[in-house]
Structure 1
């Protein structure tokens, strides 16, 4: 059995080499300190101190024991200092699960601002799809995930951050103010790979409106969809908020179809009964304050 209270007394007596000074630091009486030292000597079956009128001196056994006790207390003191730094948001690690698309278009701009505000909090990013992000949460491998299609799953908390809109874009200007959805059948369509949450969402939208279109190109990156649309390879389904620069510069044009896909949210998901670390909670609160809907 580890007698931590006795070792604490031993540490202070060995440090100050005086029982009275040790008692003052421990806010206890001199007899109580002497009693604790005697009990520790009985437990270790060693004489730990030699008493004199000037104070106390460690025996060879006492010096050996103090070498280990001092290391233990130094580790504890370092641990307390580290916890203090974490509480002051001067230290910490945040583990985040997020897809490549959200990482580039949504996360990086906010990561830069967060790093400027909290330079000593490190960020570990795991690029995963939304289903895999949930798996990482179940394994407690990440603090939270950032996903584009929230699921009403029990035992999870969801925090909405930003509303996004799926649109179809092309290199060529549109001649009409509005087109029926069926016009997409006349375009070489480019979509994200099957299994991608955005692709599942768009396939479901088309199916609910009586369309089952076979894309000419399926690819795993929205970056590639944008670049292919810019050189006129076909019509790409992208997120409007992520191609504002291309739309503003007329590099790409949105096809004004009706009906349009229902807007969806980007948000944070984390386990309901697993408390967020101080660093992770700091990041979540930072994102909530960013007024992201004006992104």
Structure 2
């Protein structure tokens, strides 16, 4: 299919004049005549009849014109949409992360991005790090916010944040915050942690294993909000990201329990799929996160 021939026919049918069509197409009048003749030969029909003022579209030509109008309108709409996306006047970004990560770290970036680009739609999908990696693999999200390290070779991962993990208690066990404990001593109290598949729980397990200890939390929760509440009412010693409970610590609703062992900082990264190009909107949002 020679789309150039169809475009010459389409413009000529609109202008009803070979000379006007040539000026609009930036070609010569003989080139218009030759293209129309070539298309007529290929289709085996006559597309125009000549008049003293120009040309008229035949019945067969009208049928072809109606279909071409739909096609070229779609092309025009697509070009306009691409132009809008290029100017960030439209588009969308889908981001995956845990609820706590989105709430405490991502939302401020979303707000400042939307202040600058109000027509870009931001979509969020919830999940633990393994779930987010799976969503990336299946192209359900553009950017994943994940706990590091991750080992998938098909991902591009950039450091985003460093976070601190600590043990905290409510007022019932406040006395523990006045001394420095070993992990063995921590084990003597009920431990509150996230579920076994979470990155936080795996980090907790590794922390105890580094001291050749095994840990089996007495209370497993699925959200940081529930973990905080369990600790506040005195259900045990909670293992949590310090940055997520800064308010509770400042208001002395929770108290940090110091331990003898060093707890390494954890890293949160931004992951994208290597073999998938980000849209203009997604690329701009990723740069906004890293700015």
Moved more, 147-156 or 198-207: 147-156
How does the TM-score come out when normalised to structure 1?
0.92
TM-score of the superposition, structure 2-length normalised?
A: 0.93
2:219 is the alignment partner of 1:217: yes
How far apart in 1 are the matches of 2:204 and 2:17? 77
Following superposition, the deviation at residue 213 of structure 1 comes to 2.6
Q: Is there any run of 5+ residues in structure 2 with no aligned partner, and where?
A: none
Paired residue for 1:99?
A: 98
Shift of residue 277, structure 1, vs aligned partner? 1.4
Quote the residue 2:74 is aligned against.
75
Alignment of 1:31-50 (within 5 A): 31-50=30-49
Shift of 1:177: 5.3
SS of residue paired to 2:220: strand
Preserved CA contact (<8 Å) 1:181 1:259: yes
1:205-241: CA deviations, max 9, x gaps?
1111232232211111121101111222221111111
SS at match of 1:57: strand
Partner of 1:155: 154
Cα deviation, 1:32-64, whole Å, max 9, x if unaligned, reads 100111111122222111212211111222122
Q: Deviation of residue 105 (structure 1)?
A: 2.3
1:124 to 2:123 alignment = yes
Q: Return 171-180 or 136-145, whichever deviates more.
A: 171-180
Q: How well do the aligned residues superpose, as a CA RMSD in angstroms?
A: 1.6
- TM-superposition CA deviations, 1:241-294 (whole Å, max 9, x none): 1111111111111111121321011111112232211111111001112xxxxx
CA contact (8 A) 1:171 1:231 kept: yes
Q: Which moved more, 1:46-55 or 1:4-13?
A: 46-55
Judge conservation of contact 1:202–1:261 (CA < 8 Å) in 2. no
Q: Does 1:281 align with 2:280?
A: no
1:5 and 2:4 correspond:
yes
Query: 1:56 aligns to what?
Result: 55
* 2:262 alignment counterpart: 260
Aligned length: 288
- Whole-Å separation in 2 of the counterparts to 1:153 and 1:61: 58
User: Segments of 4+ in structure 1 off by > 3 A?
Assistant: none
Q: Which residue of 2 aligns with 1:245?
A: 247
Distance in 1 (CA, whole Å) between partners of 2:52 and 2:261 is: 94
Which whole-Å CA distance do the structure 2 matches of 1:154 and 1:38 have between them? 56
The 5 A counterparts of 1:190-229 are 190-229=192-231
Does the Cα contact within 8 Å between 1:150 and 1:158 map onto a contact in 2?
Answer: no
Q: Which runs of 5+ in 1 are unaligned?
A: 290-295
Deviation at 1:170, TM superposition (A): 0.8
